[in-house]
Amino acid sequence: MPHIHVTCAIIERNGLVLAARRSALMQLPLKWEFPGGKIRAGEDPGECLKREIREELALEIDIAGELSPATHHYPDFIVTLYPFICKAKTSGFKLAEHAEAAWFPPGELTGLDWAEADLPVLDAYLATLERKS
Ligand SMILES: Nc1nc2c([nH]c(=O)n2[C@H]2C[C@H](O)[C@@H](COP(=O)(O)OP(=O)(O)OP(=O)(O)O)O2)c(=O)[nH]1
């Protein structure tokens, strides 16, 4: 069973969070995710994430923190997500791969149809916001 290692970005700006919807042609079609991608051999995870976000959304980010990695078993592969909390330098983005992306108030994120691996990541992120409030 393949095991892939994927960085993903929880990108904040002005109290909103960016979520992206996978295209119909991608694996896990039309599921919502935190954008990111596979870590290349020898690549620093933070650099991987900045590269992926630039490629997929033409967005520049700063990394502000990270959450614990989360491993999920899909029927045909295993993924470990490495989630980073990021700040976007600008609000505008340009879709290169995703079906759509949008800025959401954190409280609306749970209503999206997430890739299953993201559910514990989303819970952990929302818990960090609870602790801050
Ligand atoms: N980017 C991302 N991928 C996720 C998340 N949750 C989740 O299960 N995945 C899965 C979907 C994909 O099978 C895999 C990531 O692959 P990808 O296609 O986004 O990565 P990539 O851009 O490096 O792909 P590629 O260059 O090989 O086409 O991880 C998530 O929040 N973000």
**What size, in residues, is the chain?**
133
Pocket of ligand 1 (CB under 6 A): 4, 6, 8, 26-28, 33-38, 52, 79, 81, 115, 117-118
Task: Report the nearest atom of ligand 1 relative to the CA of 121.
Answer: 31
| pLDDT above 90 for 133 | no
Domains in the chain: how many in total? Answer: 1
φ, ψ for residue 124, nearest 5 deg: -65, -40
Q: Which domain holds residue 119?
A: 3-132
- Give the integer Cα–Cα distance in Å for 5 and 81: 6
Strands 32-33 and 61-66: unpaired
Distance between Cα 133 and ligand 1 center (Å): 31
Confidence check on the interface: ipTM exceeds 0.90, yes or no: yes
Q: Does pTM top 0.80 for this prediction?
A: yes
Report CA Rg, the chain: 14
Give the model's pLDDT for residue 88: 98
Kindly report the protein residue whose alpha carbon is nearest to atom 4 of ligand 1: 33
Distance between Cα 129 and ligand 1 center (Å): 25
Instruction: Provide the CATH number for the domain around residue 87.
Output: 3.90.79.10
pLDDT in tens, 25-72: 999 999 999 999 999 999 999 999 999 999 999 999 999 999 999 999
Determine what percent of the chain is predicted with pLDDT higher than 90: 98
